Structure 1
């Protein structure tokens, strides 16, 4: 895995559930000029960036220019291998129209919440903000003598003596993507999600849920609120889930069949409600083309 150049921020196991019978996705790209024409592609070719999770050395030493190359990509791959079976189990349960009981259901929803939190944390735009803090913070740490003489000596021996900023950036990424300590982004997202009701929805025949390169859509009651009041996530063309503020002491979990007009409404929310996605993705090309006719630029 350490040699992987094309690094996905949306897992391929998830994208593959939106492929058609030929294994292709229908995709529309958005840039500063608006929406581009719909095209078909394999999951390998979308929602990925070259060396997304790699940290560049600040001082060249004749190698490929990265510090601890592949370590984050490898760790994310292990997490995906752990989440994929739970994701497939959940889809199978929804196919049967019945979720497991008790602790098995709790475990399945917990895995789903972890997937949502991870997708948010892995967003390139989110990561760019995380990385942007590394430079200033590394200077601050050095000026405050955060690194002891022993630390500096060990970094010199490892070949990282002039790489304080890169090491801080790597630590920032590690905290943002993996740490479950109180106050870390993944921890805060999981605490929020696991305290919410969990509502599953089924699309009717002939209609489908679409997804995007930022498939988790958050909603706030008021702009000044710190935390979202709910999260929407398309699980597959047939299923979607909403995590919403708990109404009773015990978490409410349900499965509901949606009307066609409601599916269209959910898709428009995902399409028009986020400024951060780059790709809009669907199984059916004609449906996607019809839907993007309702796209509202700058919404």
Structure 2
């Protein structure tokens, strides 16, 4: 049992791999925050986390049961990941399974995925509520059914009052966090299974260049880079690619077609991959230092340390352009 409140959806041991600190307790990384357009260095423990993100409310279980359990799993994965990085290979089935588990957890147990699932449930709940008030008989049937199942529904609210209330839409629907955490945990094995079906290649960055990572580093995309409109890529869908940076000099590429176990990237390929990772970020980019490069709208090969200046110039130019149009 622990009293941890700062729950890391990006494991600290993973982020430490992007730091050059000798003392793990003092591990720092370069951070670029896309919401504030500012960069800074900070301790690993301060990023990739949210307060009580994995806290559950289940009778008989400690609220940090899920967080503590994942911490134990991560302590087993950490040394295996170090060996994978050192050898640029999967020395054993245990090494392969551990990396797949790491990716599966980060792909599902994060704020973006939770928000997506929560929004879906809210839309379904809203739809069901509006269907219920289409006519009186349906409304009264649903009320009776809910009461039979133990729901504490008051009997002094008329159909007309409820219909008006729902149509106004002046309410919020809250989805239980423990329920959402359960859905995430249920989804992890399926994602891990699909990741394990892929052919994996280790991509090495050339001297003088580095990969960066972010707060949602398992990038899933169409392998040909083409837009499919309303069709989203899935972890089990052919024609998709998964990229995952595991160290400043090393990244993984997963495809459903056979590929060489190792690749030596050029500077342009590293910048291309960093750009894909940056686009997948929810809010923050992380790196060993500000020397990594990505492509921006106005400049190719923009260094991380220059992002605040470059993006500020782009925003200013956009305002001036719109001003001329007006």
How far apart in 2 are the matches of 1:168 and 1:41?
32
| Secondary structure of the corresponding residue to residue 247 of structure 2 | coil
Match of 1:162 in 2: none
Alpha-carbon contact 1:200-1:256 (below 8 Å) kept: yes
Asked if 1:278 is matched to 2:286, the reply is no
| Secondary structure of the corresponding residue to residue 273 of structure 2 | helix
| 2:84 aligned residue (55, 79, 90) | 90
Say how many residue pairs are matched.
254
| Secondary structure of the corresponding residue to residue 38 of structure 2 | coil
How far apart in 2 are the matches of 1:72 and 1:167?
18
| 1:173 aligned residue (153, 173, 181) | 181
TM-score by length of 1: 0.72
| Secondary structure of the corresponding residue to residue 285 of structure 1 | coil
| 1:233 aligned residue (237, 244, 247) | 244
Match of 2:159 in 1: none
Matches within 5 A, 1:59-74: 68-74=62-68
For the aligned residue pairs, the C-alpha RMSD in angstroms reads: 3.7
How far apart in 2 are the matches of 1:143 and 1:14?
52
Matches within 5 A, 1:1-299: 2-21=2-21, 23-31=27-35, 35-55=36-56, 68-94=62-88, 99-100=90-91, 104=92, 106-131=93-118, 133=121, 136=125, 169-177=177-185, 179=186, 185-220=187-222, 222-223=228-229, 224-225=231-232, 227-228=234-235, 229-247=240-258, 252=259, 254-271=261-278, 273-274=279-280, 276-287=281-292, 290-291=303-304, 293=307
Alpha-carbon contact 1:26-1:40 (below 8 Å) kept: yes
Alpha-carbon contact 2:221-2:233 (below 8 Å) kept: no
Alpha-carbon contact 1:55-1:166 (below 8 Å) kept: no
How far apart in 1 are the matches of 2:284 and 2:14?
14
Match of 1:160 in 2: none
How far apart in 2 are the matches of 1:256 and 1:281?
23
How far apart in 1 are the matches of 2:145 and 2:213?
45
The Cα of 1:136 is off from its aligned counterpart by 4.7
| Secondary structure of the corresponding residue to residue 38 of structure 1 | strand
Gaps of 5+ in 1: 58-66, 150-164, 180-184
Distance of aligned partners of 1:143 and 1:242 in 2 relative to their CA distance in 1, 3 Å threshold: farther
TM-score by length of 2: 0.66
| Secondary structure of the corresponding residue to residue 105 of structure 2 | helix
| Secondary structure of the corresponding residue to residue 53 of structure 1 | coil
Distance of aligned partners of 1:75 and 1:264 in 2 relative to their CA distance in 1, 3 Å threshold: same
The Cα of 1:128 is off from its aligned counterpart by 3.0
Distance of aligned partners of 1:168 and 1:21 in 2 relative to their CA distance in 1, 3 Å threshold: closer
How far apart in 2 are the matches of 1:110 and 1:144?
46
**Higher deviation after alignment, 14-23 or 228-237:** 14-23
Gaps of 5+ in 2: 130-142, 151-172, 294-301, 316-326
After superposition, what is the alpha-carbon deviation per residue over 1:38-82, rounded to whole angstroms, capped at 9, x for unaligned? Answer: 10111001111111112479xxxxxxxxx8411121121122112
* Higher CA-based Rg: 2
